[in-house]
Structure 1
Amino acid sequence: MNFFHGQETLSVIEWILRSVVTFFFLLFAVKVMGSRAISQLRLLDFVMALMLGNIIAHPLSDHRIGLKGSVISTIVIIILYLFGIFLNLKWTWLRNTIETMPIPLIKEGDIIYKGLKKARISIDLLLAELRKEKIADVKKVALAMWESDGKISIFLDPQYEAITPSTYQLETELFDLPRTIIKEGKIDFQALKQINKEEGWLVNELKNHHQTELNRVLLATVDYKHNLNVFLY
């Protein structure tokens, strides 16, 4: 356990052990904090990420710094982070203090300059975000809001929205996510069992309808009508 403490020098094995321990410890830490910490960077998440990065990076680059202090500091930060999330959910005034309220950038086709200035967003960045949403004309936007995680929510004017079956009250089929039953030449027998089919049925489908064999299949999915879609290598 000498690699865990600060030393004058570390051997190659000790450096490797220190890196391995740190890697799995960080995986555990992120798992405890939840997916929010990596899916979006709000103010609290950003502060946490900066602190963890600095605390963990130093022992991996300086043999004189022990790993024990970094581990303890990380645990304390995780506890504070989870406590902060709990208080953030419980107290509205704290949430409003830590997280910025949404800022309107476009309303009924008009750009709100005060909103751009408050969010520190340039016209070029706003137009770039519109292009990402395949919107060429600002006048088509009913509302655009800058969110606290740095993303822009955009809502089109109803007259420019895409026509859907619900517009004409058309009946549609129920949504059903196709099941993956073959992946990289291997059968998922659990998925096959869920559709009440056997391996023989699958092999015959591949041979008779797709003229192929199991080891040539990269991916195969089946829908609720038992239609088989096959993708070969």
Structure 2
Amino acid sequence: MNPYLDIVLRSIAVYLFMVIALRIFGKKELSQLNTADVILILLISNSVQNAMVGSNSSLAGGLVAALVLFTFNYILKKAMYKSKTFNDLVQDTPLILIHDGKVDFKALAKLEISSDELDEVIREHGVENYKEVKLAMMEIDGNISIISGDKNLKQTHHKRKIHKTLGSVNK
């Protein structure tokens, strides 16, 4: 087999593996990165490097792998844009966590977010109590959006990563 075709096929396989892994492990992992997340990304990139280029450690081999990743990413994003079905397969949907002051504990449990973590995020958005929240959503990028207030709705944006804890989901 042509060594560059081998790099193309290996790179696509690694890319698809990473998309599937991120889909399985959830959108919470895509939000702001902490030290452990940066270390994980560095180790993953190092561990899959040889899987993409094999024994070809030449400049051309590395550039072919990078070009394949950029091209495949572009194609994937175009396909996601054009096909709602494909987009839903690759990307998760936003989830409502609070609606009109009522917490959706099933959604919190699904996302493994404790009540204490949710309270912390609400306070970080400048809201004192979940009952003041009109809408709280876990967005597709892993961030939580909060809309609060009565007549004058106020939306705040705060990048916050939710970490898994052993805390309870019940209030």
Q: Name the TM-score, length of structure 2 as normaliser.
A: 0.55
Partners of 1:157 and 1:80 in 2: CA distance: 43
**How well do the aligned residues superpose, as a CA RMSD in angstroms?**
3.0
Partners of 1:157 and 1:129 in 2: CA distance: 16
2:118 to 97, 117, 126: 126
Q: Unaligned regions of 5+ residues in structure 2, if any?
A: 1-29, 32-40, 51-55, 155-171
Q: Unaligned regions of 5+ residues in structure 1, if any?
A: 1-40, 43-48, 59-63, 163-233
Q: Which residue of 1 aligns with 2:15?
A: none
Q: How big is the shift at 1:159?
A: 4.1
Q: Which residue of 1 aligns with 2:137?
A: 145
**Post-superposition CA distance 1:115-157 (Å, at most 9, x none):** 1012222222212211111111111001111111100111113
Partners of 2:121 and 2:98 in 1: CA distance: 12
Q: 1:124 to 1:70 in 2, by over 3 A?
A: farther
Q: How big is the shift at 1:66?
A: 3.1
Q: How big is the shift at 1:53?
A: 3.5
Q: 1:82 to 1:117 in 2, by over 3 A?
A: same
Please tell me whether the aligned partners of residues 56 and 70 of structure 1 are also in contact (alpha carbons under 8 angstroms): no
Identity of aligned residues (%): 27
Give the number of the structure whose alpha-carbon radius of gyration is greater.
1
Equivalent positions of 1:204-219 (< 5 A) are none
Q: Which residue of 1 aligns with 2:75?
A: 83
Q: Which residue of 2 aligns with 1:114?
A: 106
How many residues end up aligned between the 2 structures?
111
Q: 1:97 to 1:50 in 2, by over 3 A?
A: farther
- Deviating more after overlay: 137-146 vs 125-134: 125-134
Q: 1:65 to 1:55 in 2, by over 3 A?
A: farther
Q: 1:160 to 1:78 in 2, by over 3 A?
A: same
